[in-house]
Amino acid sequence: MKVVCAWCNKTLSSGLPDDPVSHGVCPDCAAKLAPTRRGTLQQLLDHMRQPAIAVDAKISAMCMNQAAQKTFGAGGHLIQGKLIGDIIECAHASRPEGCGRTVHCSGCTIRRMATATFQDGQARCSVEAEQLVRGADGIAAVRYSISTQKVADAVLIIIEDLKSVATSAPFAEEPVGA
Ligand SMILES: [Zn+2]
């Protein structure tokens, strides 16, 4: 995977000649963009081709780009303050406890990556994550390749790849309070 800075186009990781291009933010631009306003964050995300969502320390959304709006079918202004699980339609987020509070959430790769990047400021690149999501035809498994990066007081969740996979273990609705 070739990675270039979405703000200044500097190459961050060259990859192989035929590799698909993904976007990140170089350390210089990340520093320049801090402290950043929401408008700047939105502009930065709009430079990225992949779906990208900026979240705050509670892993709730600040803004997202058009690719993310298309992928997750959410209006840009409607997602502000929504938790990540509600945006990607995580099957567990629909439980009464909500995103981040179910027994499954400690194993959530997206949440763990974003939290870790908040804590140490280090980017995580192209990590594979599998998630059960609610789709039109019920629960389906989706495999993501995700990068996280800290910019100012936000963490960007960049979705480099996303494909539906067959569920090996069917999703069982556990009784509430069990
Ligand atoms: Zn840059």
The alpha carbon of 12 and the centre of ligand 1 are apart by a number of angstroms equal to 9
Rounded mean pLDDT of the chain?
85
Q: Which residues surround ligand 1, an ion (CB under 5 A)?
A: 5, 7-8, 10, 26, 29
pLDDT for the residue numbered 118: 95
Residue 174 pLDDT level (bands cut at 50, 70, 90): low
* Whether the predicted pLDDT of 178 surpasses 50: no
- Distance of alpha carbon 12 from alpha carbon 80, whole angstroms: 29
As to burial, measured by CB atoms within 10 angstroms (0-12 exposed, 13-18 middle, 19+ buried), residue 52 is buried
Give the percent of the chain with pLDDT over 70: 89
- 119-149 pLDDT, tens digit per residue, is 999 999 899 988 888 877 788 888 989 999 9
Nearest residue to 62 (alpha-carbon basis) of 145, 156, 143: 156
The alpha carbon of 108 and the centre of ligand 1 are apart by a number of angstroms equal to 30
The alpha carbon of 102 and the centre of ligand 1 are apart by a number of angstroms equal to 37
The full set of domain ranges for the chain reads 2-165
* Whether the predicted pLDDT of 2 surpasses 80: yes
Which phi and psi angles does 168 have, rounded to 5°? -80, -40
The CATH homologous superfamily for domain 2-165 is PAS domain (3.30.450.20)
The alpha carbon of 128 and the centre of ligand 1 are apart by a number of angstroms equal to 25
The alpha carbon of 114 and the centre of ligand 1 are apart by a number of angstroms equal to 21
- 50-96 pLDDT, tens digit per residue, is 999 999 999 999 999 999 998 887 665 678 889 999 888 899 998 99
